[in-house]
Amino acid sequence: MTIEERKNLSQTAIQNLILENREKLSISGVLDVLSFDDQVVMVETELRTTYYKGRKS
Protein backbone atom coordinates (compact mmCIF):
# COMPACT_ATOMS: atom_id res chain seq x y z
CA MET A 1 0.00 0.00 0.00
CA THR A 2 1.39 3.37 -0.97
CA ILE A 3 1.64 6.30 1.42
CA GLU A 4 -1.04 8.14 -0.53
CA GLU A 5 -3.41 5.15 -0.29
CA ARG A 6 -2.76 4.92 3.45
CA LYS A 7 -3.52 8.64 3.88
CA ASN A 8 -6.81 8.28 2.00
CA LEU A 9 -7.72 5.18 4.01
CA SER A 10 -6.92 6.83 7.34
CA GLN A 11 -9.25 9.71 6.47
CA THR A 12 -12.20 7.37 5.85
CA ALA A 13 -11.47 4.44 8.18
CA ILE A 14 -12.91 4.50 11.67
CA GLN A 15 -11.33 2.46 14.41
CA ASN A 16 -12.56 2.47 18.00
CA LEU A 17 -11.07 0.72 21.00
CA ILE A 18 -13.18 0.38 24.14
CA LEU A 19 -11.69 -1.17 27.26
CA GLU A 20 -14.22 -1.88 30.00
CA ASN A 21 -12.94 -2.36 33.55
CA ARG A 22 -9.69 -3.84 32.21
CA GLU A 23 -11.66 -7.00 31.39
CA LYS A 24 -13.39 -6.51 28.04
CA LEU A 25 -11.81 -5.01 24.91
CA SER A 26 -13.95 -4.10 21.90
CA ILE A 27 -12.23 -3.08 18.65
CA SER A 28 -13.99 -1.89 15.50
CA GLY A 29 -12.45 -1.93 12.03
CA VAL A 30 -10.85 -5.37 12.45
CA LEU A 31 -10.22 -7.18 9.16
CA ASP A 32 -8.61 -10.34 10.58
CA VAL A 33 -7.45 -11.81 13.89
CA LEU A 34 -3.90 -13.00 13.21
CA SER A 35 -3.29 -14.70 16.57
CA PHE A 36 -4.40 -14.61 20.17
CA ASP A 37 -3.88 -16.22 23.55
CA ASP A 38 -4.62 -15.22 27.14
CA GLN A 39 -1.94 -12.47 27.06
CA VAL A 40 -1.68 -11.09 23.49
CA VAL A 41 -4.12 -10.41 20.65
CA MET A 42 -2.71 -9.54 17.21
CA VAL A 43 -5.20 -8.09 14.72
CA GLU A 44 -5.12 -6.58 11.25
CA THR A 45 -7.29 -3.47 11.10
CA GLU A 46 -8.25 -1.10 8.32
CA LEU A 47 -5.43 1.19 9.45
CA ARG A 48 -2.58 -1.25 10.28
CA THR A 49 -1.57 -4.49 11.95
CA THR A 50 -1.30 -4.09 15.69
CA TYR A 51 -1.23 -6.12 18.88
CA TYR A 52 -2.67 -5.66 22.34
CA LYS A 53 -0.87 -7.14 25.30
CA GLY A 54 -2.40 -7.63 28.70
CA ARG A 55 -0.64 -7.99 31.97
CA LYS A 56 -1.36 -10.09 34.97
CA SER A 57 -2.82 -8.20 37.92
Instruction: Give tens-digit pLDDT for 39-49.
Output: 888 888 877 77
Provide mean pLDDT across the span 7-18: 70
Alpha carbons 26 and 8: distance in angstroms, whole number: 24
Q: With beta carbons less than 8 A apart as the criterion, state whether 49 and 40 touch.
A: no
- Between 56 and 44, where is the model more confident? 44
Categorize the per-residue pLDDT at 36 as very low, low, confident or very high, splitting at 50, 70 and 90: confident
Q: Residue 41: how many CB atoms within 10 A of its CB?
A: 18
pTM of the complete model? 0.55
